Amino acid sequence: DTAVSQTPKYLVTQMGNDKSIKCEQNLGHDTMYWYKQDSKKFLKIMFSYNNKELIINETVPNRFSPKSPDKAHLNLHINSLELGDSAVYFCASSQDRAQQFFGPGTRLTVL
Partner 1 sequence: AQSVTQPDIHITVSEGASLELRCNYSYGATPYLFWYVQSPGQGLQLLLKYFSGDTLVQGIKGFEAEFKRSQSSFNLRKPSVHWSDAAEYFCAVVDFGNEKLTFGTGTRLTIIP
Enumerate binding residues for partner 1 (CB under 8 A). Answer: 4, 31, 33, 40-45, 48, 55-56, 90, 92, 94, 96-105
- Tell me whether residue 75 or residue 94 sits nearer to partner 1 (CB atom): 94
Q: What is the DSSP letter of 72?
A: T
Give the nearest distance from C-beta 62 to partner 1 in angstroms: 20
Task: Say whether 67 sits in a helix, a strand or coil.
Answer: strand
Task: Say whether 73 sits in a helix, a strand or coil.
Answer: strand
- Tell me whether residue 74 or residue 92 sits nearer to partner 1 (CB atom): 92
Per DSSP, the chain holds a count of helices (H) and strands (E) of 0, 11
